[in-house]
Structure 1
Amino acid sequence: MSSVDIPREQWATRVGFIFAAVGSAVGLGNIWRFPFQVGQEGGAGFLLMYLLFIVVIGFPAMLVEFVVGRRTERNPVGALKEIGSGIWEYVGWIFIATGFVILSYYSVVAGWTIRYTILGLQDGYLADAAEAEGQFVTLASGLDAILFHAIFMAAVIAIVAVGIERGIELAVKVMVPAIIIITIGLAIYAATLPGAGEAYSYYLSPEWGVIADNWQSIVPAAAGQAFFTLSLGMGVMITYASYLGEDRNLAEDGAIIIGFDTAIAFITGLIVFPILFTAGVDPADPGAGAIFVSLAAAFGDLTLGWLIGAVFFGTVAIAALSSAISLMEVVVSYIIDERGISRPTAAIGIGGAMFLLGVPSAYDLVLLDLFDLFADQILLVLGGLLLMILVGWSLPDLAVDELQRGIGDLGSLGPAWIWAVRIPVILVLLVALVLGILDYYEFLTGPFAEWVGDQ
């Protein structure tokens, strides 16, 4: 069977595309990772740099992925084969590998959110931080983690297998509004807590001395978070844009998507920090399980904390699902386009393989970190960097021509966008890649080497 035997799907509505892209961006990166990166980097200084990089790095890079996807109407591998030549045509495989690896362990973390939602409704959360950490270690690995990893992956497979219009588009039209409504409600609740004033000062009032003293860590962390939270470097926006019609204004759609994503990340901080400050919990506690230890302990110390916690973790689970379907779609679209395999078969096969790859991450947190650091700090940045170099320096006319469809003549804005891609975007991604490789080497020779020695 060839790929031409299967008609290519399209989004039924503009709202469906925007919600799908927002749903991909608004995931664990926003609600799980963002507030604790703010905490680890000292508060408002990180927030300020993050917002700056969203505009300077995130928006230009998103438009690059949009124009490549819509121009080619293919998955990342097919798209790069069409517009690239020589070694460039193989860049698409980096996106496929990135989406595959990330979803394998992302599903494990998402399974934790389901488990913690149920935990709040059943037994509530432990207020003692040491007990909360012990509870997390018990729930985050072993058979319990594998079971909820399987449940979450099954939900992702079911949605992707149905298709673009009746599966992904229908699902995100329910999930994204729910995420927005619930996060706003939780932020209103958090504003009533006694620690809200102190939290807002920490979160919203930059201390320039802190920024000056720690810019070496704040700048790359903020740039990386801006890239990660918008689902860039994973092939998601290439794939989603490949289902678009030519009449869409990509710049307008991109601005709307980034606006929603950034607003939800910002509102998440308005929820998390008042809760932590009210409970007297240090917002800078590090690690993959920070939200499940620090925040769960804070919920355990609040009146009706079990209910607020269940709602919060339930929201995180929904956000994780909206992101996960986009990651699976990247790989499934490749199987459909290039191999001519039916969507249900591709979804089940790819989902099963991702589940198996995720089992080691569910077995031990060190192995989860092994996959996470490799995919997030190396594969994701490398794929994004190479795509920006290809489009910015080799295919600028093609990119500007495609962006003008649905907009009209860009005038001087076209060259300005290309130069933004050529200089600040590529420079930041190059620095982030070097730092990521160094961090991964330190992990391999440090925590991972110690773990291997203990086995």
Structure 2
Amino acid sequence: MARAEWGSRLGFVLAAAGSAIGLGAIWKFPYITAQNGGGAFLLIFLLLVFTLGISLMIAEMLVGSVTKKSPVGAYRKLGGRTWSLVGYIGVLCGFLILSFYSVVGGWTIAYIVKSVDGAILTADPKVLSGIFSTFIADPVEPLWYHALFMGVTAGVILAGVQKGIEQVSKYLMIMLFLLILVLIGRAITLPGAIDGVLTFLNPDFSKVNARMVIEAMGLAFFSMSLGMGCMITYGSYASDDTYVPHSAGSVITLTTLICFLSGLMVFPAVFVFGFDPSAGPGLTFITMPAVFSQMGGGQFFGVLFFFLLFVAALTSSVSLMEVVVSFFIDEFNCRRTPTTIVMSILMFVLGIAASLSLGVWNDYKFFGKNFFDILDYVSSNLIMPFGGIMVAVLVGWKSWTLVSERLASKGKHPWWLPLLKWFLRIIAPIMIFVVLLQNL
């Protein structure tokens, strides 16, 4: 079976950027920045993204590009049979993440509906908190939206690499960018909005400490969709004439730009109406609706905001499902359609347990965490850092000769190749291990 390929480099870049730009870029980056000194955190984050982030992005894309296989086959081809276990863990990570991520993706659809009918147009955060808590604890309503979100994700995968993932990613990424610009335009025209912008950009170096740097390392790693096989899978669809470092640099730049623009979108509006931009996850479903309720044309911009979240969630969920589906296509020669349907059903079923654990099953806890939190913790805090360390070791040590030749141009090696080599061999594994210890 001939391996699918991206139709163009732009399609590859936008699909990979869509994978990296998820819900975290929209809500997590602004509130983490607010908690950690604004511009000071921003500077450290940028430094880490263009060292740690781009090194691992290049490594993952190269693994896929060189082998033309999904994670299990790619690790086996480059490292041997033992290394295929790392690939299996990556596929499992994609499966686990999408199971609960689809539940949250469903919330974005629900809040589009609630914005349209005006159910969340109130300036009282306590009321909004009650609405959100009641909604996610409901044993039935979130599941309908979870099913809808999983169905849309599966629909994109069923259409294939070029006609599905690539085409949808192109349109969705353009739409994402335009929506953010529209919302920024509204936010900065509010009276006093410039103070919010200054709060976001002004560096508070008094907050720079080891904990803050570790926080920035974690965000730089996780916000790029690294450590779970997405970039390996997407890299495997790249044509042989695709120069991976250029594509990786474009993806990193686009993702960082969206994170930065999200801060400009959130900070001014939240600041003007006196809310706390470091409110954490509640910033999305509690604080922002309160902001929109006090804004002229707030209902319209509320709908746009939650549609923006839906788009960001969908581009990431598509990459997660493709990791799982491509594994079965490569390893067992399965057909795309039945594989996608079966995997969607299985992930939906696991997601039911995750959703119910926020409500009627909330009393059932393991190590003090409900089922939703366990899925999140194991995949994001343990498996992803493990995957990041392994791909750095694989490329930096085990397969360096092979991948470095792929990076050579007409027999000449680029000047930065020794830096990439030692970053992957030593610096990146140590940095990610520090993040892993912090998570533990």
Fold-level match, TM-score > 0.5? yes
1:374 equivalent among 372, 378, 399: 378
Distance 1:202 1:306, change over 3 A: same
Deviations 1:229-260 (A, max 9, x none): 11111101100010111111111111111111
The answer to whether the Cα contact below 8 Å between 2:56 and 2:391 also exists between their aligned partners in 1 is no
1:360 equivalent among 353, 358, 366: 353
The answer to whether the Cα contact below 8 Å between 1:234 and 1:380 also exists between their aligned partners in 2 is yes
**CA–CA separation in structure 2 for the residues paired with 1:370 and 1:305:** 36
The answer to whether the Cα contact below 8 Å between 2:21 and 2:258 also exists between their aligned partners in 1 is yes
**CA–CA separation in structure 2 for the residues paired with 1:114 and 1:45:** 35
1:341 corresponds to: 334
Deviations 1:362-408 (A, max 9, x none): 12344322211221111111111112112212221122112236x86
1:190 corresponds to: 187
Of 363-372 and 242-251, deviating more is 363-372
Residue 144 (structure 1) aligned with residue 148 (structure 2): no
Aligned residues: 427
2:422 corresponds to: 419
Tell me how large the CA RMSD over aligned residues is: 1.5
The answer to whether the Cα contact below 8 Å between 2:37 and 2:206 also exists between their aligned partners in 1 is no
Residue 317 (structure 1) aligned with residue 310 (structure 2): yes
Distance 1:408 1:156, change over 3 A: farther
Distance 1:283 1:408, change over 3 A: farther
Q: TM-score, normalised by structure 2?
A: 0.94
The answer to whether the Cα contact below 8 Å between 2:37 and 2:203 also exists between their aligned partners in 1 is no
**CA–CA separation in structure 2 for the residues paired with 1:160 and 1:353:** 15
The answer to whether the Cα contact below 8 Å between 2:36 and 2:207 also exists between their aligned partners in 1 is no
Contiguous gaps of at least 5 residues in structure 1? 1-5, 438-455
Instruction: Report the AA paired with residue 401 of structure 1.
Output: E
1:442 corresponds to: none
Give the Å deviation of 1:336: 0.4
1:385 corresponds to: 389
Residue 259 (structure 1) aligned with residue 262 (structure 2): no
1:11 corresponds to: 6
1:3 corresponds to: none
The answer to whether the Cα contact below 8 Å between 2:79 and 2:398 also exists between their aligned partners in 1 is no
The answer to whether the Cα contact below 8 Å between 1:49 and 1:218 also exists between their aligned partners in 2 is no
The answer to whether the Cα contact below 8 Å between 1:9 and 1:164 also exists between their aligned partners in 2 is yes
2:215 equivalent among 191, 216, 221: 221
Give the Å deviation of 1:331: 0.6
Give the Å deviation of 1:88: 2.2
**What secondary structure is seen at the aligned counterpart in 2 of 1:280?**
coil
1:440 corresponds to: none
Give the Å deviation of 1:86: 5.2
2:242 equivalent among 232, 242, 248: 248
Q: 1:202-221 alignment to 2 at 5 Å? A: 202-211=199-208, 215-221=209-215
**CA–CA separation in structure 2 for the residues paired with 1:86 and 1:12:** 32
The answer to whether the Cα contact below 8 Å between 1:83 and 1:89 also exists between their aligned partners in 2 is no
**What secondary structure is seen at the aligned counterpart in 2 of 1:91?**
helix
1:173 equivalent among 122, 146, 170: 170
The answer to whether the Cα contact below 8 Å between 1:195 and 1:275 also exists between their aligned partners in 2 is no
The answer to whether the Cα contact below 8 Å between 1:136 and 1:289 also exists between their aligned partners in 2 is no
Instruction: Report the AA paired with residue 190 of structure 2.
Output: L
1:132 equivalent among 121, 128, 132: 128
State the 4+ residue runs in structure 1 displaced beyond 4 angstroms: none
